């Protein structure tokens, strides 16, 4: 549950008097910036899904750890309740489990209430082709349980 404490500490910074987009003091709620290219109203604080909690000493059949999905759901709920609407993940995070865990947690909310950023993480030369890159993109959609990605980034 240490992750919950860390999330609470990070989000407590949003409970004071943040500056809004004009530079004036805000009302004590989340500060947002409007993306000038898309009009998206994105929370100034995003949630990075790179360090999700695992269940201690538990392994899946494939040898990877097992993410504590209940705790991830709790962390995402806390973030959403405090105005965070930008979630950043990658196929490479958390032993390859971050996108799926993120999709489960965010899938409990209306799709228009948050923004997903993920990456094309084709570090290996065998993933540099168009076909392999497209497959990675389609897998991201599947794992994130969505039909679109708001922000698609190039890893590295």
Query: At residue 26, does pLDDT exceed 60?
Result: no
Q: What Cα–Cα distance (Å) separates residue 42 from each residue in 29, 54, 138?
A: 13, 28, 24
As a whole number, mean pLDDT of residues 43-66 equals 96
Residue 47 has a pLDDT of 98
Q: Note the pLDDT tens digit of each residue in 133-143.
A: 899 999 999 99
As a whole number, mean pLDDT of residues 84-107 equals 97
User: Given the DSSP bridges, would you call strands 41-43 and 32-34 parallel, antiparallel or unpaired?
Assistant: antiparallel
As a whole number, mean pLDDT of residues 60-89 equals 97
User: Given the DSSP bridges, would you call strands 115-120 and 151-154 parallel, antiparallel or unpaired?
Assistant: parallel
As a whole number, mean pLDDT of residues 101-127 equals 92
> Which residues have CB under 8 Å from 20's CB, separation 6+?
26, 31, 32
As a whole number, mean pLDDT of residues 49-53 equals 97
Residue 28 has a pLDDT of 61
What pTM value is reported for the model? 0.80
Query: At residue 5, does pLDDT exceed 60?
Result: no
In this structure, the dihedral spanned by the alpha carbons of residues 140, 143, 144 and 145, taken in order and rounded to 10 degrees, is: 120
Query: At residue 69, does pLDDT exceed 60?
Result: yes
* Residue scoring higher pLDDT (15 or 140): 140
């Amino acid at each position: 549950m240490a992750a919950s404490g860390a999330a609470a500490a990070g989000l407590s910074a949003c409970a004071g008097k943040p500056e809004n987009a004009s530079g004036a003091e805000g009302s004590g709620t989340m500060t947002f910036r409007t993306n000038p290219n898309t009009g998206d109203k994105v929370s100034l604080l995003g949630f990075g899904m790179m360090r999700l909690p695992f269940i201690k000493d538990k392994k899946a059949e494939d040898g990877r750890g097992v993410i504590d999905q209940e705790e991830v759901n709790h962390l995402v709920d806390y973030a959403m309740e405090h105005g965070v609407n930008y979630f950043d993940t990658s196929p490479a995070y958390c032993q390859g489990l971050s996108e799926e865990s993120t999709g489960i947690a965010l899938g409990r909310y209306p799709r228009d209430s948050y923004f997903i950023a993920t990456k094309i993480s084709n570090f290996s030369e065998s993933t540099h082709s168009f076909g392999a890159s497209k497959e990675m993109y389609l897998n991201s959609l599947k794992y994130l349980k969505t039909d679109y990605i708001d922000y698609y980034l190039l890893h590295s």
